[in-house]
Amino acid sequence: MTTVSLTDVAGYLPGDPVPAEFYTSHPEAEDKLRDSPMFKVPPLRHHVAPGESNVDMIERAMQPLVERHGRDEIRGVDVLLVHSQLPDVPFVGAGTEVARRLGLSPEWLVDVANAGCASFIHMLGLARQILTTTEARTALLCNAQSAAGRLFTQSEVRKLAQAAIPGDGCGVGYLTTSDAAPVLGVETRHVGDYAGDMTMVCDDGRRYWEPGEAQLRIGFTEAGVARVLDRGNRLVPEVVTDLCGRLGKAGTDIDTLVTNQPNRTFLHNWRHTLEVPPERHPDTFDQYGNLFGAAIPITLDHAIRTGRVPDGGLVVLGGFAHAGDFAGAAAIRWHGGGGR
């Protein structure tokens, strides 16, 4: 069977860090969720610049991969998978523009719209399937997150507890059919029972495409937040445990656990349940906030650059999306690839 490796990762964070005071010094609206563990404010996050697109961020995140592997090798990739959170244009995915900017002509190009905060794992599984069942030999995975600086900085949304949590950034991964850093397994779950539980609302009742003055926000409620906390606490340890069990491993065998970064409560509970000590679970929440789909590749890149991923170590990626409609885990035997 063809071996597929996560050969390299890289990340990009736009602009200077934005302090919590951007939100906390602003006049507060009445918000019953302000004391929820879902919305404990990180000190810093990044925001896209005015006019900066998801494609711009992907192009900038790709530069370390181009420098390490060469422009010709990157231009020759067979598979391009892209997840954008928030899309630049409602009707058009970013994938074809990414291909144009980078000079790619991939046989497979897919704009992935689902799997949210765990979409890097979803795309890893899709790319692995393509690389093992077709003649394709290389793939690029791109996660761009731009909702923080666009959606959550609106004048009225900015006053809400939810606004201070997200940050913007982009993470990318390069897969090859090699044994550089083999993907040992991928476990994914699409949970239809929770589909549609995350909603976008305007306080005047209009739909987002209808004209009006009310600002678009996520429709969090106290009951909804309680359900998400319960599901998230359970889903990620379950999917990671099941994957590790299939590979003959336990949580204590994980050298580096890289998860999405929604809040401190989830991060603490996940590593506690899996018996992974804090030093083996990189945490970028206080530096970057909740990066949604970009969190896993950016946090993995950060962990590698800061020496948190040992050569030959078992790296496990884990996360869940939205209100729990997707969860996934992937295991990689990291060998310090990418010419780092």
Q: pLDDT tens, 15-58?
A: 999 999 999 886 666 688 988 999 999 999 999 999 999 999 99
Residue 48 lies in a domain: yes
Phi first, then psi, for residue 103 (nearest 5°) are 75, 35
Residue 240 lies in a domain: no
For 79-182, where are the E strands, in sequence order?
Answer: 79-85, 108-111, 138-145, 169-176
Residue 64 banded pLDDT, cuts 50, 70, 90: very high
| DSSP annotation string for 234-248 | HHHHHHHHHHHHHTT
Q: How far apart are CA 294 and CA 172, in angstroms?
A: 8
Q: How far apart are CA 66 and CA 58, in angstroms?
A: 12
Three-class SS state of 6? strand
Q: How far apart are CA 238 and CA 177, in angstroms?
A: 29
User: Residue 18 is encoded by which pair of tokens?
Assistant: 């934005």
Q: pLDDT tens, 172-197?
A: 999 999 999 999 999 999 999 999 99
Residue 114 lies in a domain: yes
Helix (H) or strand (E) holding 191: none
What are the Cα distances from residue 303, in Å, to 16, 208, 235, 259, 316? 20, 38, 23, 12, 12
**Residue 108 confidence (pLDDT) above 60:** yes
Q: pLDDT tens, 295-309?
A: 999 999 999 999 999
Q: Terminus-to-terminus CA distance in the chain, angstroms?
A: 28
pTM for this entry: 0.97
Torsion of CA 147, 96, 114, 136, to 10 degrees: -140
Beta bridge partners of 169: 145
User: Residue 79 is encoded by which pair of tokens?
Assistant: 């598979």
Q: How far apart are CA 123 and CA 111, in angstroms?
A: 10
Residue 236 lies in a domain: no
Residue 213 lies in a domain: no
Domain count, the chain: 1
Residue 193 lies in a domain: no
Residue 126 lies in a domain: yes
Residue 56 lies in a domain: yes
Q: pLDDT tens, 269-292?
A: 999 999 999 999 999 999 999 999
Per-residue pLDDT, 1: 80
CATH number at residue 174: 3.40.47.10
- Expressed as residue numbers, the domain containing 63 is 5-179
